[in-house]
Amino acid sequence: MSGYGSAIIRAVLTCLGFLAYMFFYAFGWFGVNCIGCAIAQIAYMSKRNFRQILKNEEVRLRRQMPQWHPDKDVIKKTFKQHYCRHVETLFLGALTKDRLDKLASATGTEHIDKALAEGRGVILLLSHFGSFLLPLPYLGFRGYSVCQITGRQNHEDVINERIWTPAVNKEIWRWRKREADKLPVRFIEVGTFLRPAYKALNENKIIAIAFDGRESSKWEQVPFLGDKEFFSPGPFELARRTGATIIPTFVLKEQGGRHKIVFEKAFSMSMEADVKRANAQDTTNYAAIFAEYIQQRPCHFLVHFPYVRKPFLTSC
C-alpha cells in the first residue's frame, strides 16, 4: 500500500478512535459492550465464510462428543464474545481500578497469595478463552507484580479473521499495544529465549503464559474434546525447573457484559520420575481441565479451534 493510502487509513482510524472514546466516556464499559455487540451482529450477517467455519467446528464437536449439547445459538454467541473482546482490548488503556471493579469480579486470589508465600513465583496459565487479558490488569491494579510472556508478534495478521486489510490490522495492533502499555503489567517478548521468564520467577513475580499459544519448539498431541490436539508442555517444564506454582486461570462472561475471573487452586504436577513423561502427563491433565470450561462455555473458544490443531501458527 502506498504512503498516501496508509496515511488515509491512519487518519480514518484516528477519527474513529476519537468517536469511540467519546462514546466510551459517555456510557462507560456498558457502551464498549454495546459497540462490540453491534459489530458482532453486523459481522454475523455479513461474514458467511467465518460463520460456516464456526458451524463446521460445532458439527465436528457434536460428532466427536454425542453427549455434548451446546446452545442452539452457540454460533451467534461466539460472534458476540469474539468481537466484544476485540473492542474491549482497544480500550484497555482506559481502565482504572474502579472501572475494572465495575467490569469484572474474581474468585481464588487466595490461591495466588498462598503460592507467592512459597517464594518461587507463580505461572498464571491462561488461554484464548473469553476476555483472557483481564486477569493481568486485575492483579496489577491490586499491587501484584505481573508479567505477560509473549512470543514474537506477527504484526501483519493480529486479527486473524482479516476484518480489514493487513495495513489496517497493523494499525489496530499498534493501537492495542499502546493501550496495553498503559496497564500496570509488564509485557516480555521472549521467543525461544526464556531467561526473562526465569528471572521474573526467581524474583517471586507472576508471569502469564497462554496454554494454547502457538509459539513453542516442543509439542504434545493429547486427548482434547473427543480428538487429539496440539499443546506445548513448556509451562510445565518451566514450573518443574523453577519450582513455581501453576494457577489455572479462566475468564467467564456474565450478563450485562461483566466478567468473572476464576483463579483455580494450584495445579497438581505429575510425580512421574521421567521428566518427559511427566511433562506429557501434565499437558494431558491440564487439557482436561481446559476442556471442562469449553464444554460449559463453547462460545468462549469456538473461534480458536482451527489453531490448536496447527502448531507453529500464531492465534491472536
Residue 262 pairs with which residues in a beta bridge?
Answer: 107, 250
Angstrom distance (rounded) from CA 82 to CA 158: 14
Instruction: Look up residue 61 and give its three cell numbers.
Output: 464437536
For cell 498462598, the residue is 114
Residue 58 carries which side chain, given as an amino acid letter?
E
Helix, strand, coil percentages in the chain from 3-state DSSP, rounded to 5? 55, 15, 30
Domain ranges in the chain are 3-308
Residue 35's alpha-carbon distances to 12, 28, 38, in angstroms, are 18, 11, 5
Between the alpha carbon of residue 307 and those of residues 10, 200, 310, 312, the distances in Å are: 30, 29, 5, 9
Per-residue pLDDT of the chain (316 residues; tens, 9 = 90+): 455 655 665 565 556 556 666 766 677 777 778 888 888 888 898 888 889 999 998 888 888 888 777 777 899 999 999 988 888 887 787 788 998 998 899 999 999 999 999 999 999 999 999 999 999 999 999 999 999 887 655 444 333 433 444 454 555 556 566 666 678 888 877 665 678 889 999 999 999 999 998 777 788 999 998 888 889 999 999 999 999 999 999 999 988 788 999 999 999 999 999 999 999 999 999 999 999 999 989 999 998 887 776 665 443 3
The pLDDT of residue 153:
52
First and final C-alpha spacing in the chain: 23
pLDDT of residue 312: 53
Per-residue burial over 267-286, b = 16 or more CB atoms within 10 Å of its CB, e = otherwise: bebbeeeeeeebbbbbbbbb
Pairing of strands 146-150, 186-189: parallel
Of the candidates 202, 219, 213, 229, the one whose C-alpha atom is nearest the C-alpha of residue 279 is 219
Q: Reduce the DSSP state of residue 6 to 3 states and report it.
A: helix
Q: What is the DSSP letter of 189?
A: E
The one-letter code for the residue type at 196 is: P
* Count of CB atoms situated within 10 Å of the CB of 217: 10
Q: What is the largest CA-CA distance in the chain?
A: 61
